[in-house]
Amino acid sequence: MRILVVDDEEKIRHVIREYAEFEGYKVSEAKDGMEAISKCKEEDFDIIIMDIMMPKLDGFSAIKEIRKTKNTPVLMLSARGEEYDKLFGFEIGIDDYVVKPFSPKEVMARINAILSRSNKKEEESPTEGKYVYKGLEVDMLARNVYVDGVKKELTPKEFELLQYLIINKNIALSREKILNEVWGYDFFGEDRTVDTHVKMLRNSIGRYRDNIITVRGMGYKFEE
């Protein structure tokens, strides 16, 4: 398993490298967003650990550029704990978020959890076929979503959430159940994560947003 650690602080890169190599990972380093993009063009990584505030190019911009060609899982690091940073990170498709200062053991636990979920999804057979409801078309195998003939760009988690809701359509699902099934039992998130992604998903599917019903005091369901 290969990890790319991107941070302008050498001490942080060194600490993560030390713990990751102890657990058997191969580690590469980058000191800014530009270098991270360059390394991702040269080779493939199983996960990227990305700081936000860096010289030359920030972490958000680097992730958006990398996401144009690769869907590598991303764990975001930041010295700032503002909700805006977390929400924006999830909007561009990060998998998890750690606020500095952090415990290296917690970072490794999150890395292992993300990779475990990623590997599990690769082993599972994708849900085949297409789901069509009026002008909403979801191609489960190609992971494409069309609204009235227009292709919509969903983040990986938005698609997985929509897919899960559709597979379980007309069934009320608790936030905890959604977290467990879409993010994994070992996800370090909270109910707010589900609410945020539902809001993003509703915006993405336009006039079909009302088909995602809020079940008061419980969670959500997709209803035809």
- What stretch(es) of the chain map to CATH 1.10.10.10? 130-222
Q: Which CATH class is domain 2-123?
A: alpha beta
Banded model confidence at residue 71, pLDDT cuts 50, 70, 90: confident
E strand spans, 13-95: 26-30, 47-51, 74-78
What is the structure's pLDDT at 189? Answer: 57
What is the structure's pLDDT at 149? Answer: 92
* Lowest-confidence pick of 29-33, 73-77, 89-93: 89-93
Q: Would you identify the CATH topology of the domain 130-222?
A: Arc Repressor Mutant, subunit A (1.10.10)
Q: Considering the entire predicted model, what is its pTM?
A: 0.63
- What stretch(es) of the chain map to CATH 3.40.50.2300? 2-123
Query: Between vectors from CA 162 to CA 175 and to CA 215, what angle results, nearest 5°?
Result: 40
What is the structure's pLDDT at 63? Answer: 92
* Lowest-confidence pick of 11-15, 47-51, 80-84, 160-164: 80-84
Q: Is the pLDDT at 125 greater than 60, yes or no?
A: no
Report the pLDDT averaged over residues 161-184: 89
What is the structure's pLDDT at 92? Answer: 81
Share of the chain above pLDDT 70, in %: 90
Share of the chain above pLDDT 90, in %: 56
What is the structure's pLDDT at 182? Answer: 84
Selection from 160, 163, 155 nearest residue 203 by Cα: 155
Strand pairing report for 150-152 and 144-147: antiparallel
pLDDT single digits (tens) 134-147? 999 999 888 899 99
For 67, residues 6+ apart whose C-beta sits below 8 A from its C-beta are 92, 93
Continuous segment of H or E residues that includes residue 59:
helix 59-66
Q: Is the pLDDT at 190 greater than 80, yes or no?
A: no
Average pLDDT, the chain: 87
